[in-house]
Each structure stands twice: as C-alpha cells, then as structure tokens.
Structure 1
Amino acid sequence: MTLSDLIELARPVGYWMNSNQGVVSGSIFISTLVLGWASGIFGALRRRPKFKISTLPGPTFSCTYATGATHNNYEVHRTGIAVYLRIANIGTAASMIEQVSIGYHWNIKPISRLWLKYAIGWHWLKNPTVALSDFQVQIGDNIKFYPFLLQKSGISGGQAETFLEPGRSSSGVVYFEQRDSWGGCFPKSHNKEVLLKISVTDIRGKKHQRKLKIPAVELSEAKKFNPEFGRTLVELHSKSSA
C-alpha cells in the first residue's frame, strides 16, 4: 500500500471530524472530567494514615504477682503491664489515636480446653487502666516523670497529642491492670520476656498492630517506676465497697 492509498483511506475520517467538531470536543471534555474524577478518587484512596508502633526506653514491662488470696484452691494473682509507646504516622493522611489494646498468651498447658483460644490465640486487655500516679525514675537527685499517652499527668496536668498529621509522632505510657485471676491466666514468659501484640485503633476504626517482646519483672522492680503500680483496681474496689 502506497502513501497515497493511506491518505485516501484517512480522508473520510478527516471529513467526519471536521463536520463533527462539537461532538469531538464534547467527548474530549467529558473524558477529561471522568479521568479527573477517577484520579481524584484514586488519590483519595491512596491517602490514608499508617501508624508505626515502637517502644522507648523507660517503663515498659509486665508484672504478675500473688495477692495472698485463693480461689478454689488456686492462688489468686494480678497482672499489670506498662508500655512506653511511640506512635508515628508514616501514612499520607492525618488521623487520631482512639484506643490502645494489648494481647498476650496465657501460660496454660495444651490439655486445657482454653489452650487454643488463649495460649495459641490472644487474650486481650482492651482498655487502658487509669494509673493512680505518674510513672517516674530517679536520676541522681532529680526525678524524671514520663508522659501518659491517653490520660492526663497528675504532676503537670498535660497529655500527649493524639492527633497525628503525616510525619508526626507522639509518645507516652499506657498502663493496664488485669482483674484478680488464677491458674494460667497470666502472660507466658520465656527468658524473662513476654510476647505482646499492641493494637492501636485510629479514629476511622482502622487497627495498626505490632508484636514485640517486653521484660517480665518482679513487683519490687515495677514499683521503682510507679509506687502505685497494681493498685488502681484495688482502690476502685475498696471505694465501691465502702
């Protein structure tokens, strides 16, 4: 096929476009609108928060201790867990920290009917407990107080920022107390470490999770960071019984 043949074939298309310029222009305009709308939607879908969870040096530990009471011949114990969290928004949209929960594995044997649910699965403490006093550490003659993430400080009255723009982070202590328990209902430890799953829920309901190991310590060590460690539920129970 020669060049002149190609020109002859294209001539009818040219005539049609010349006589239908309005239709062609309208089609281009509509296509541009549709593409712009679609790209806007896709861009919005790509803009979402993403929380990166880590811990900072300080009061991060699990502590299980006996109460001296018994239940059906089982020794009653309590568990307190403190985690000094740093949460960074490495996503592309702002969001707010709405809730922090922690999960751990029970220390029970495979013959138990609850083994699959809590020894393989996770036992969740879904809401932080209000600590009676600030977490602290003695440094020489001075005392350093750690900020809370989700409650106000009893010393300064301040609270960490929970609304995170992209590229911003916030840090603070979250504290959990488990009610009186017995048997293997406490965190399983290996080499004096407990495996936790941290779950941070943002204001949109999206969960951001990370597994990490924290030290398992004795009550005397825990009280060095907070003299009221493990006392919140006891105080609440005594006041409700009064």
Structure 2
Amino acid sequence: MVAAFEVAEGAAGADVDRLWSALRQDLVGGFPGSLAAHRDHTLTALLRVAPATSLDRLAERLCELKRPHERRQDVLVSVGVSRLCRAVDEYPDAFEQARHALLIGRAMRGPGSAVTFDELGAQWHLFHVAQQQVRDVYQERLQRLVEHDRAKGTHLFRTVEVYLECMGNAKLAAERLFVHRNTLRLRFQKIRQVAELDVTDPGRWFDLMMALRIIRLRELTARAGHGGARGGDRGSPRSGGGP
C-alpha cells in the first residue's frame, strides 16, 4: 500500500530534509522491505504490509511513528493511506488514493491527521465536485462571506461552519468560537446582510454543509497546487475569535 506524508504546519523553521530522512528510516525499519522517497514538503512510501492488515490500525501506527519527529521539529505531519495493493497494476491508483486521503483528510480533520482512503466516504465525491467550475447558490453566497472576511478581517465563514458543526446549538458554537452569544447573534445579522443567508433555518443546513465542504476542498486543492497547504496561510477562513 501507499502512504503519503506532508508537512502541514510550522515548516518555515523546520529542517524538512532531516525530518523526512529520520521518518524514512523509521518507516523502512518498521516495515521491512518498504521504500520511501521525499521531495520538498512531501514524502511518499510504498509500505510492505501483511494482506490482513487493518488500515485503521496501520494509520494509528503511522501516527505513532511520526509523532516524535513532529515534536522534535515542532511541525504537524498529515498522512494519507491508500487501500491495500494486491497486484503491481494497482499501485497507480494507490498513489492517487493516498494523495486524496491526505488532501481531503486534512480538510476533514485538520493538519496532523492520518486518514485512510476508505474513511473518505462521500467526501471523495465532494472532492471531485469541488474541481468543477459550476457554483450553486449556496456556494456563491458563502463565497461572499469568504471575500468579506478577507477584506474586513471578520470571521463570518468560520462562524457558519462552527454553528453547523454544533448542529445549531448557539451556546456551544459561541464557546467554540470564544465569543459571547450576543456577538454570535450580531454575526448572524451580518451574515444575512452580506450573504442573504439565514443559517438558523434547519431546512438550509444540509445544503450549507455541502457547500462549506466543497469550498474547503476547493481552497485546499488550490493551495496544494502551490507547494502544499499549510496552516496559517493568508486568506484561509479558519480563525474563530475577533469580529
């Protein structure tokens, strides 16, 4: 099977070559007969594993292997794991599976996560939708929030995202955003003004959640095309505090 690794955060001050060399040594030692090579902020490994290997357990083991190196270099390393390969001609697909698991997994769980391709589920289909140029009305209106946040330094997009993650629980959403509930209500008013969206309407939640995920995946794909997505990139609607 194939595992793809990428430095996701804090790489500016890290010795990435040293990180990959040390991790490659651990991978080859932990999985005899395996191969690994790195380039810039990514490392790809062909891991030799038993046919009955549990991919979930494998992902946990890869996390255990990378964790000391993350602490040593003060970085986060994301991992994507393909399905098991039972024939040589399955490896091209496995490389793509690992890449998709890395990229989409980072969008689903954040930097530093380890995700298998089989865990992606419907997110894999949304990834392909995100590559299309067509935008529905929910994507267009949420994009207004992204642009407003970039121009004004607000956090309206993230507010919608957290509120939906909390299934409309305003108290919990305010706590996760580190704001007062009155501030949250003011944000809802601003969201209606900027994007013509009532995020408190449960009938819109499914469409909004799909549009949010597509925008996230599109953003990550665009950034990955320019050397990889790293936390803290300007324009990423991630922060919760502030206006």
**TM-score band, normalised by shorter chain:** under 0.3
More strand by share: 1
TM-score (norm 2): 0.22
The structure whose RCO (Cα within 8 Å, separation 6+) is larger is 1
TM-score (norm 1): 0.22
Structure with bigger gyration radius: 1
More helix by share: 2
